[in-house]
Every structure is written in C-alpha cells, then in structure tokens.
Amino acid sequence: MNFEDLDAAVSAMAGSLQRPDDLATALPRLVAVATQTVPGADYASITRRAQDGQLTTITATSPLVEEADALQYELREGPCYDAVTIDEVTYSPNLAVDGHWPRFGPRAADMGLGSQMAVRLSNSADAVTGLNLYAQTHHAFDTSLSLARLFAGHASIALGYATELHSLHAALETRETIGMAIGMVMERYQMSDERAFEFLIRVSQDSNVKLRDIAAELVRTHPRSSHE
C-alpha cells in the first residue's frame, strides 16, 4: 500500500467518526481500521495513561493483545508502555531477541507475537493515549513506520472529535438532570430556583456525593419518573 492509498483510507476512517457515535463505538472502529490499513498489523489496541499514571487498555481487537498490553503495564516495559511514557514512537522488529525490553519481549514471543509498534495518539492534560500495533511475524513494520505515523495523525483527530462529542453529550445530560432535580426540589419545598440549587449543593457537600449523582438519584426515585 502506498502513501496515497493509506492517506485516502485513514481520511475515510476519520470522516466516518465525524458523526454523533458513542465513544464506545468509535474506539473499536478505530483499531479495526488500523489493522485493515497499516501493512503488517494483525492486531491493534489503544492504551490510556491517566494523570495518576494508571495504564488501561480502552479497546482492542483481540484478547491476546489485551493480555500483551497488561503484561507491559505490569512489567513497566514494552513498546506500548514506552509510547505513553517516554517516546512517541517505539518499534520492536523481533520481540524475542529485543534487548530494549528483555523481560517483556520473550514472553510476548511465547504468546505468538513477532513484532510490535506503538505510536502516541494524544497528550492532553487529562490523559495520554497510544495506538499499539501487533504482528505475528518478525519485521512486520519495517516499511510501515511512516505509514503508521500518518494513520496515527488522522486517528488522533478522529479520536479527539469523538472524545469531545462524548464529553459534550455527558455535560448536556448532566445539565438536564440537574435542572430536573432543581424543579423537583422547588415543587416539593416551595423554593425559588436559586434556593433549590443551593439546597442540592449543600446535600452534595454534606454527603460527599457529586452534585450530578445527587440529581440523578433524585430524578430516578421521584414518583413522576415511574409513571412517565
């Protein structure tokens, strides 16, 4: 596959995410397209490193690579670990004999993995994400480094859009729920909207429960909710 073909493929992928899909739908599509468009890739996953340093796999094309990701998190060693902590792009052409990752490499080879590439997708204040590409053969990505980086560039834009859209939907839903809760408190206690809001804030502070959760529980248990 040449640069023009890949550019067209990943542009189409990015465009396919420009619609109001749930993030849980967008993420599996991204890794699926990665295996279809990056030459040599048999499996793919996405790693997320939170602010506290916790590493999680948020989507994967196979349980095998979820296991491989988890092993790297445990050992704090491997291409996907490095891509979200040290280097933006990491590559092992032969995991079995790679001296960069002496503990992870042989164990990955025992799992049937020959080579691995990882490319950072995003580096925001909230989290760092990386795209992990795995192959069963050795040297699978020797000619794919630039292509993988190009894919990651498009995927990063698409992932950022989907994340923002997901956050916006969540914020709107929260705002609507809090508004309904305020209306219920106003009706029940004959309060103004300002006093009702202050009441909910006090309940949140006293109970150490987030305001949105207080509002959601109030809406869920309100007598009206069971009849609508």
Residues 191 and 151 in one domain: no
Count how many domains the chain has: 2
Residues 89 and 124 in one domain: yes
Residues 110 and 207 in one domain: no
| Helix (H) / strand (E) containing 48 | strand 43-50
pLDDT digits over 157-189, tens only?
A: 656 655 554 554 555 567 778 888 888 888 888
Residues 87 and 176 in one domain: no
The C-alpha atoms of residue 64 and residue 78 are separated, in whole angstroms, by 15
- Provide the domain limits for residue 115: 3-164
Residues 15 and 94 in one domain: yes
Residues 10 and 111 in one domain: yes
Which domain-ending residue is among 144, 164, 184? 164
DSSP secondary structure string, 71-136? HHHHHT-SHHHHHTTT-SEEEES-GGG-TTSTTHHHHHHHTT--EEEEEEEEE-SSEEEEEEEEES
Residues 72 and 28 in one domain: yes
Which domain-ending residue is among 164, 190, 212? 164
Amino acid at 140: A
**Nearest 5°: CA angle at 103, between 54 and 132?**
50
Residues 103 and 69 in one domain: yes
pLDDT digits over 196-218, tens only?
A: 877 887 888 788 888 778 888 88
How far are the Cα atoms of 14, 49, 85, 95 from residue 53, in angstroms, in the given order?
28, 6, 9, 25
CATH number of the domain residue 74 falls in? 3.30.450.40
- Phi (first) and psi of residue 133, to 5 degrees: -115, 130
pLDDT digits over 81-135, tens only?
A: 999 999 888 999 999 999 999 999 999 999 999 999 999 987 876 788 899 999 9
Is pTM, for the whole model, over 0.85? no
